[in-house]
């Protein structure tokens, strides 16, 4: 069967992954309202195409943090890629390297940061970081990825505690014995009596994380710091005041607080507040090239996809991730042209309106 759109990959993954694995990737918090609204919110946005604009030549390139990428879609940090494909994050890294876009590697990878770099040495990568009760764990990871040539740190700030994902609880989700959170291999092995949560001991994350930890992180690294998980203009302003280099507008794929806004609905107020002082990105709910166009029209510099990358892995590993990205690239280029835009600089808020339905 030809894979024509991202839904085809979703259906394949649903049919071929184990129930527990599918449920883990698909999970939202509580009633999944925010997870589902991430998708529905894009359908409420309408495009206002301009015509007779000579779109015979188009260019999808953009820059993130000063680095040119081939099109404004990167891979969001998602955990446990080896659940979907035996090569896991190594395959994801090779796919993004091949298409010259950005891959945000998750702390919760089933391949180590070293293995990922070895597999795709010229790939453009950021590293997603959590702050742990034991600060040394976070600090050691920062120094490892800095030495390996990762180009930015993406600090996830919306997980002081893990959201309630009902199917994971019902399934008693655990990593299978042959898989580990490879970046922590050997760190927790002596603590076998402690309950496990997503591959590491429960209560390892630090719920006391606050804005002062941004200064702490700046004190231990020279890498740009991008905050992932901001949904309000108030926090966007604080992020700028604390000297970070970027924001990812994100609700964690609807996996944390149920009842919050869809990411795309929070984007415009954050873009307006930041007013060009730092770059703003968005993740959550992107399934088509026109979704990418809508996000850029509302001010995102780049979008990041999570679950679709995992579906691509489940389909055909590296090749599957490449296909997912290529479909989005092709659809984005077509949507741009049909809207009268020849390059990303021509995409503006005049291109969108919100449906009255």
Question: What number is the average pLDDT over the span 316-339?
Answer: 98
User: What confidence tens digit (pLDDT) does each residue in 248-271 have?
Assistant: 999 999 999 999 999 999 999 999
Is 81 noted as a catalytic residue in this protein?
A: no
Indicate the annotated binding residues: 24, 77-79, 106, 128, 130, 156, 165, 228, 250, 252, 255, 283-287, 306-307
User: What confidence tens digit (pLDDT) does each residue in 267-282 have?
Assistant: 999 999 999 999 999 9
User: What confidence tens digit (pLDDT) does each residue in 229-253 have?
Assistant: 999 999 999 999 999 999 999 999 9
Q: Which of 16, 178, 242, 252 is catalytic?
A: 252
Q: Does residue 191 have a pLDDT over 60? A: no
Rounded Cα–Cα distance for residues 198 and 161 (Å): 12
Q: What is the pLDDT of residue 195?
A: 80
Question: What number is the average pLDDT over the span 98-126?
Answer: 98
Distance, C-alpha 17 to centroid of its chain: 21
Q: State which H helix or E strand residue 229 sits in.
A: strand 225-230
Q: Does residue 189 have a pLDDT over 80? A: no
The 3-state secondary structure of 321-350 reads: HHHHHHHHHHHHHHHHHHCCCCEHHHCCHH
Q: Give me the helix-helix angle, 33-43 and 263-274, nearest 10°.
A: 70
Q: Does residue 89 have a pLDDT over 70? A: yes
The set of residues, in sequence order, having a beta carbon less than 8 Å from that of 121 and lying 6+ positions away, is: none
pLDDT band at 19 (very low <50, low <70, confident <90, very high): very high
Q: In Å, what is the CA distance from 45 to each residue of 90, 293, 303?
A: 36, 11, 16
Look up the CATH superfamily of 6-354: Aldolase class I (3.20.20.70)
Parse the chain into domains and list their residue ranges: 6-354
pLDDT band at 355 (very low <50, low <70, confident <90, very high): confident
Q: Does residue 145 have a pLDDT over 90? A: yes
Residues shown for the chain = 357
Q: What is the pLDDT of residue 146?
A: 98
Q: Which two tokens stand for residue 257?
A: 């607080």
CA dihedral 122, 126, 132, 136 (to 10 degrees): 50
Q: Does residue 72 have a pLDDT over 90? A: yes
Q: What is the pLDDT of residue 187?
A: 87
- 3 state DSSP class of 246: strand
Indicate the annotated binding residues for glyoxylate: 24, 165, 252, 255
How would you class 4 by CB atoms within 10 Å of its CB: exposed for 0-12, middle for 13-18, buried for 19 or more? exposed
CA dihedral 120, 125, 128, 134 (to 10 degrees): 70
Asked if residue 229 lies in contact with residue 257, where contact means CB atoms within 8 angstroms, the answer is no
Q: What is the pLDDT of residue 268?
A: 98
Q: Which of these, 283, 27, 347, 32, lies nearest to 170 by C-alpha position?
A: 27
pLDDT band at 196 (very low <50, low <70, confident <90, very high): confident
pLDDT band at 66 (very low <50, low <70, confident <90, very high): very high
Mean pLDDT of the chain: 96
Q: What is the pLDDT of residue 193?
A: 65
The set of residues, in sequence order, having a beta carbon less than 8 Å from that of 126 and lying 6+ positions away, is: 102, 103, 104, 105, 150, 151, 152, 153, 154, 226
Q: Which two tokens stand for residue 247?
A: 């924001």
Within 10 angstroms of residue 68's Cβ, the number of other Cβ atoms is 10
Indicate the annotated binding residues for FMN: 77-79, 106, 128, 130, 156, 228, 250, 283-287, 306-307
């Amino acid at each position: 069967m030809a894979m024509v759109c991202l839904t085809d990959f979703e259906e394949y993954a649903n049919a071929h992954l184990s129930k527990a694995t599918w449920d883990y990737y698909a999970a939202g918090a509580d009633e999944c309202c925010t997870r589902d609204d991430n998708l529905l919110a894009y359908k409420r946005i309408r495009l206002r195409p301009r015509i007779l604009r000579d779109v015979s030549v188009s260019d999808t390139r953009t820059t993130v943090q000063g680095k040119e990428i081939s099109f404004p879609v990167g891979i969001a940090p998602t955990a446990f890629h080896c659940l979907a494909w035996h090569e896991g994050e190594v395959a994801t890294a090779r796919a993004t390297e091949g298409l010259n876009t950005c891959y945000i590697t998750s702390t919760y990878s089933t391949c180590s940061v070293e293995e990922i770099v070895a597999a795709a040495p010229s790939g453009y990568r950021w590293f997603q970081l959590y702050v742990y009760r034991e600060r040394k764990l976070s600090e050691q990871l920062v120094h490892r990825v800095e030495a390996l040539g990762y180009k930015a740190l993406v600090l996830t700030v919306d997980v002081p505690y893990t959201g309630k994902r009902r199917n994971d609880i019902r399934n008693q989700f655990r990593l299978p014995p042959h898989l580990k959170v490879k970046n922590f291999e050997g760190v927790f092995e002596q603590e076998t009596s402690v309950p496990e949560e997503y591959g590491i001991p429960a209560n390892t994350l630090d719920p006391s994380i606050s804005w002062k930890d941004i200064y702490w992180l700046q004190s231990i690294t020279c890498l740009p710091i991008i905050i992932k998980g901001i949904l309000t203009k108030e926090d966007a302003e604080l992020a700028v005041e604390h000297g970070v280099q970027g924001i990812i507008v994100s609700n964690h794929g609807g996996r944390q607080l149920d009842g919050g806004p869809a990411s795309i609905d929070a984007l415009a107020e954050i873009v307006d507040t930041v007013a060009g002082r730092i770059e703003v990105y968005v993740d959550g709910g992107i399934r088509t090239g026109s979704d990418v166009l809508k996000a850029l029209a509302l001010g995102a510099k780049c979008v990041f996809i999570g679950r679709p990358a995992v579906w691509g892995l489940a389909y055909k590993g590296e090749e599957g991730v490449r296909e997912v990205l290529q479909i989005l690239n092709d659809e984005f280029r077509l949507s741009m042209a049909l809207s009268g835009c020849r390059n990303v600089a021509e995409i503006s808020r005049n291109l969108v309106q919100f449906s009255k339905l």
